[in-house]
């Protein structure tokens, strides 16, 4: 890691009172701390905003992988369904009843924080709504229930094609925004004392170095599966996820030369 970024990360790590307002910088900084013996050399990503984003991406991959495993494409052969497309076949096998009652862990994919994994363009393209409007639809369609054992579930109170489409898409879409953006980094960096606009004139380079800090880092998910991050020769930050212990390589930040 280039020496010049170390003071910047040390500053972000030392300011515990700003941890909530600079979550990405603090999360990256914990990886490069001298006290973190499981740092960027291949250790485990500390719990934080990036861990949460990667975990949600992994959960969506698990859902997609599980559905692909259940498909019996022989039943969709042209001879048996002459006017039945593959898309129709996949859609016909969707179990929409799963959205009538969702446990707290699975509902994490539909919380406001999870909606931030996608761009405004994603919501307009898929639903013709803004992110805030989709959030309102979800909040107005589900009721939080706490059972006698303390188990939390979310029950669907208003079932209609719109809410089912929203839940289905948010659960399996892999059209994530970048793991973190240059705009997010600039917004957080400006909150650090002593940092001003002129100090951030090299924001592209700062962003690039922060991305490279994650090269070789791993994150362990709740089921024990490990996702390994790496920066490719093309300058892309990617992750090797293992849903069902099968490797899926996903680009998490596009080519840095385009940022």
Give the tens place of pLDDT for each residue, 93-141. 678 899 999 999 999 999 999 999 999 999 999 999 999 999 999 999 9
Whether 247 is covered by a domain: the verdict is yes
Of 157, 172, 187, which closes a domain?
172
Same domain, 193 and 216: yes
Same domain, 43 and 105: no
Model pTM? 0.84
Q: Which helix (H) or strand (E) holds 240?
A: strand 237-241
Of 141, 172, 203, which closes a domain?
172
Q: 203: exposed, middle or buried (C-beta count within 10 Å: 0-12, 13-18, 19+)?
A: middle
Of 172, 192, 214, which closes a domain?
172
Same domain, 161 and 216: no
Query: Cα-flanking dihedrals φ and ψ of residue 7, to 5°?
Result: -60, -35
Same domain, 164 and 190: no
> What DSSP string describes 174-218?
--PPPSS-HHHHHHHHTTSTT--TGGGTTHHHHHHHHHHTTTT-E
Whether 79 is covered by a domain: the verdict is no
Q: Which of 209, 195, 222, 167 is nearest to 1 (CA)?
A: 209
Count of domains observed in the chain: 2
Same domain, 57 and 159: yes
Same domain, 65 and 152: yes
Same domain, 90 and 165: yes
Same domain, 146 and 213: no
pLDDT band at 25; cut points 50, 70, 90? very high
Q: Is a pLDDT exceeding 50 seen at residue 84?
A: no
Q: Which of 78, 103, 102 is nearest to 89 (CA)?
A: 78
Of 120-124, 185-189, 236-240, 253-257, minimum mean pLDDT range: 253-257
Distance CA 39, CA 36 (A): 5
Same domain, 165 and 58: yes
Same domain, 165 and 140: yes
Q: Are residues 145 and 153 in contact, defined by beta-carbon separation less than 8 angstroms?
A: yes
Whether 152 is covered by a domain: the verdict is yes
Whether 104 is covered by a domain: the verdict is yes
Whether 78 is covered by a domain: the verdict is no
Distance CA 57, CA 61 (A): 6
Task: State the residue range of the domain holding 159.
Answer: 51-73+84-172
Same domain, 103 and 168: yes
């Amino acid at each position: 890691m280039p020496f010049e970024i170390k003071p910047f990360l040390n500053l972000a790590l030392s300011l515990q009172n700003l941890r909530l307002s600079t979550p990405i910088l603090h999360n990256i900084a914990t990886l490069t701390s001298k006290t973190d013996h499981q740092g960027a050399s291949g250790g485990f990503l500390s719990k934080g905003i990036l861990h949460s984003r990667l975990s949600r991406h992994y959960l969506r991959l698990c859902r997609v992988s599980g559905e692909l495993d259940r498909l019996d494409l022989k039943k969709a052969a042209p001879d048996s369904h002459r006017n039945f497309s593959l898309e129709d076949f996949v859609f016909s096998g969707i179990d929409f009843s799963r959205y009538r009652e969702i446990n707290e862990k699975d509902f994490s994919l539909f919380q406001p924080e999870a909606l931030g994994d996608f761009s405004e363009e994603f919501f307009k393209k898929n639903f013709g709504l803004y992110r805030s409007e989709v959030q309102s639809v979800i909040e107005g369609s589900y009721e939080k229930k706490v059972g006698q054992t303390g188990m939390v579930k979310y029950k669907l109170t208003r079932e209609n094609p719109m809410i089912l489409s929203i839940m289905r898409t948010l659960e399996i879409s892999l059209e994530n925004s970048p793991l973190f953006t240059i705009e997010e980094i600039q917004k957080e960096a400006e909150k650090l004392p002593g940092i001003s606009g002129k100090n951030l004139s090299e924001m592209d380079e700062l962003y690039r170095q922060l991305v490279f800090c994650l090269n070789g880092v791993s994150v362990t998910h709740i089921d024990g599966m490990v996702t390994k991050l790496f920066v490719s020769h093309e300058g892309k930050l990617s992750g090797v996820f293992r849903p069902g212990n099968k490797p899926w390589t996903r680009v998490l930040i596009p080519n840095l030369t385009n940022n």
